[in-house]
Copies of this chain bind each other. A is one copy, B any other.
Amino acid sequence: MADPKTPEPSRRSERSRQAILTAAVELVGEVGYARLTVEAIAARAGVGKQTIYRWWPSKGAVVLDAFVELSGGSQPAALPDTGDLKADLEGVLRATVQELTDPRFELPSRALTAESQADAALAQQFVEAVLRPHLKAIQERLRSAQRAGQVAKGVDLEVAVELLVGPLFHRWLLRTAPLTSAYADTVVALAMAALRPPPKGR
C-alpha cells in the first residue's frame, strides 16, 4: 500500500503504527473506552484517520492490538523452566504485580476491564487476545512440572493457573489490600503446597 517512492516506507509505517498504539493506550486510560474515538487517536498520534482505518477496522481492534503490544506481544515468551518451579512461578507472578501496578498499564487496563463488565464481546476479545496467551504460558510451565512429578497427576492445570493469578487480580480489581511482591510470593507458596504430589496416602 505504501508509495514505493517514499524513502524507507516500512520504517515510517512502523513509526506511525507505534504512535497509534501508544496513543490508543494513553487515551483509554485518560477518557475510558466508551468515550474514546478514532479521531482522538489519530490526532494524538499525528496521523490521519484514514491511516488508522487502513490498518484496523474499528477502534476496538486498535485498542486490542495496543494491549497485545503492551503486554509483550501475541506470543508471550514461554516461562523460564529452570527446574525450580517455585522460583519460576515467583518470577512470573512478581512480573504480573509489576505490570498491574505500572502506571502506563494500570489506568488503561482498569478502563478496559470496566468496559468489559458492560460489553461481553469486548471482554471475550480481550481475554483471547491479551490474557489467554499469558495464562497458557503459565499452564505450559505447570504441565512440564507435572511431567517431572513436581505437580500431582490429578490436578486440573487450567484451575491451577487461576489459583495463581486469581488472588492477584482479586486484589488489583477489588483493591482489597496493596498488591505487592511479598503477596505474590505468599500466593506461590500456598499454590505450591496445593499442587505438589501427596507424600503417599490420603
Contacts and interface: CB of A to CB of B under 8 A. Distances in A.
Contact of A171 (B113, B160, B162, B177): B162
Interface residues of A, number: 45
A124, A135, A156, A163 pick with most chain B CB within 10 angstroms: A163
Contact of A173 (B117, B155, B160): B117
Contacts of A195: 190, 193
A194 B198 CA distance: 11
Given A159-B167, A166-B169, A111 B120 contact: no
Interface in A109-151: 110-111, 113-118, 120, 123-124, 127, 131-132, 135
Given A160-B190, A183-B159, A116 B175 contact: yes
Contacts of A160: 190
B117 A174 contact: no
A13 interface: no
Contacts of A32: 118
A90 to B, nearest CB: 14
Contacts of A115: 114
Nearest to A155: B190
A118 B107 CA distance: 8
Q: Considering the complex of A and B, which 10 residue pairs feature the smallest CB-CB distances, nearest first?
A: A166-B166, A166-B167, A194-B194, A166-B170, A110-B117, A114-B114, A114-B117, A162-B167, A190-B194, A193-B194
